[in-house]
Amino acid sequence: MKKFVVENRIWDKEESLPRAELAALQGAKLKETVARVQNVPLYKEAFSKSGIAPEKINSLDDLKRLPFTTKADLRGHYPLGMLAVDRSEVARYHASSGTTGKPTMVAYTQNDLKTWANLCARFLTGGGLLPEHSVQIAFGYGLFTGGFGLHYGVERVGASVIPAAAGNTPKQIMLMMDMQVDALVCTPSYALSISEFILQSDISRSALNLKHAHFGGEPWTEDMRVRIEDEMGILCFNNYGLSEVIGPGVSGECAVRDGMHISEDAFIVECINPETLEPVAPGEEGELVFTSLCKEAMPIIRYRTRDIASLNLEPCACGRTTARMSRVTGRSDDMLIIKGVNVYPSQVEQALLRVEGTAPHYLIEVDRPDRKDVATVKVEMTEKSFSSSMKELQELKDKIDRAIQGITGLRMNVELVSPNSLERFIGKAQRVVDRRRG
């Protein structure tokens, strides 16, 4: 099938400013943000403790003298202690996802909502969205920022939205076919479930008009992209964001697909060593830290994301000059340390996608019997490999074992499980059960 070709379009001139001009713009906006956060007790205190006069902050170098903001700070000020405006000025609330405890509430003024829609319009345009396209949004609509964030971004481009929301896969596919949808928006793991459903039913790919897809909200790998693109005959683009910073719209890929462009006129990005807290060099992996430059309701200073990625400051072939971030390879707090080796679930995924005969559905279970770490990867077989001989299955297990060891440097037990036996996700996938944490 012929793949869609993305026209190289840039939504805003701020995406391609000379770097010196961008730095001047950031400095001016930073001053406004610093003034605004004086309304937030946490920040007012931080400034006075570090002995820095807010009016003396002019650049990132000055900013670096301030402490970081962490998830714990936000939790400690639940629900609205980080608000920098009067509640009457808030137009909408969302919350960051989290499976345990209270969520982190985030707030937007009317201006924030406009900024947000515009930032989403940027990456959608970078990934080929045109005003004449119709877009199916299969993200949860609710406190999660994915659904509403992308919804208004698509509308801002002038395209039409089909707010399907997450779940009910047969209905998603029906809508996609009947409405001749051009673009799909969801998590990559849900896209995998949709693709799997299409392959298992007798729906012909030609019944779909899908051209491109915009995935985000969770880590995924290049191998996963190749798999989905081959199965669905579409182009898939990665976009990244987090509620505390704004939601989706922090960064996204352009047609070149060599990193996600960060909207640096809206956020200052730093990449640090999570242990020493010192900056790492461009190209080196570290934890991303963001300072917002345009947010009114909940501005944030030096937020430690826990997301591990690297930065590329070279201009891109697309004409944008903004820094690009690599894929997120994991979170510093999701990183598993097994027998002393640092392992990210995405590395296991990468290994599995390279072995034929496995479906890309897996679960990593870690236990510590007898004070020794034991990691088991449950991997689904494809229907074809499911009917293989014992000898072939043993060969498959060995291949997986070698692939995982090759990428992670670690041996894990491999357990082959029958097709469709592992849980499917309509939102963010849960790939790890770590029983060592009690």
Question: What residues line the site for ligand DLL (CB under 6 A)?
Answer: 96-97, 144-146, 216-219, 238-243, 247-248, 305, 307, 328, 331
Listing from the earlier edge strand, what are the strands of the sheet with 358-367? 413-417, 374-381, 358-367, 432-434
**Distance of closest approach, residue 306 Cβ to ligand DLL, in angstroms:** 7
Sign of CA pseudo-dihedral 352, 355, 360, 362: negative
**Distance of closest approach, residue 171 Cβ to ligand DLL, in angstroms:** 21
Q: What pairing do the DSSP bridges indicate for beta strands 134-137 and 183-186? A: parallel
CA 62 – CA 58 distance, rounded (Å): 6
Nearer to ligand DLL, 17 or 328 (CB): 328
**Distance of closest approach, residue 143 Cβ to ligand DLL, in angstroms:** 9
The residues, any chain, with a CB within 8 Å of residue 271's CB and separated by 6 or more, are 279, 280, 282, 284, 285, 286, 287, 288, 289, 309, 310, 311
Nearer to ligand DLL, 27 or 330 (CB): 330
CA 115 – CA 292 distance, rounded (Å): 12
Which candidate, 322, 410, 347, places its Cα nearest to that of 374? Answer: 410
If phi over 0 gives left and psi between -120 and 50 gives alpha, with beta otherwise, what is residue 182? alpha
Which candidate, 251, 139, 144, places its Cα nearest to that of 187? Answer: 139
- In the structure encoding, which two tokens stand for residue 100, read together? 């345990």
Nearer to ligand DLL, 104 or 408 (CB): 104
Nearer to ligand DLL, 118 or 145 (CB): 145
- The phi, psi pair for 122, rounded to 5°, reads -60, -50
**Distance of closest approach, residue 27 Cβ to ligand DLL, in angstroms:** 26
Nearer to ligand DLL, 44 or 102 (CB): 102
Nearer to ligand DLL, 97 or 125 (CB): 97
CA end-to-end span of the chain: 49
Nearer to ligand DLL, 144 or 267 (CB): 144
- Residue 171 CB burial class (10 angstroms; 0-12, 13-18, ≥19): exposed
**Distance of closest approach, residue 224 Cβ to ligand DLL, in angstroms:** 11
**Distance of closest approach, residue 207 Cβ to ligand DLL, in angstroms:** 27
Where helices occur in 37-135 by DSSP H, the ranges are 41-50, 60-63, 71-76, 110-126
Nearer to ligand DLL, 31 or 327 (CB): 327
Nearer to ligand DLL, 96 or 195 (CB): 96
**Distance of closest approach, residue 393 Cβ to ligand DLL, in angstroms:** 33
Residue at shortest CB range from ligand DLL: 216
311 DSSP β-pair partners:
325
**Distance of closest approach, residue 260 Cβ to ligand DLL, in angstroms:** 7
**Distance of closest approach, residue 153 Cβ to ligand DLL, in angstroms:** 10
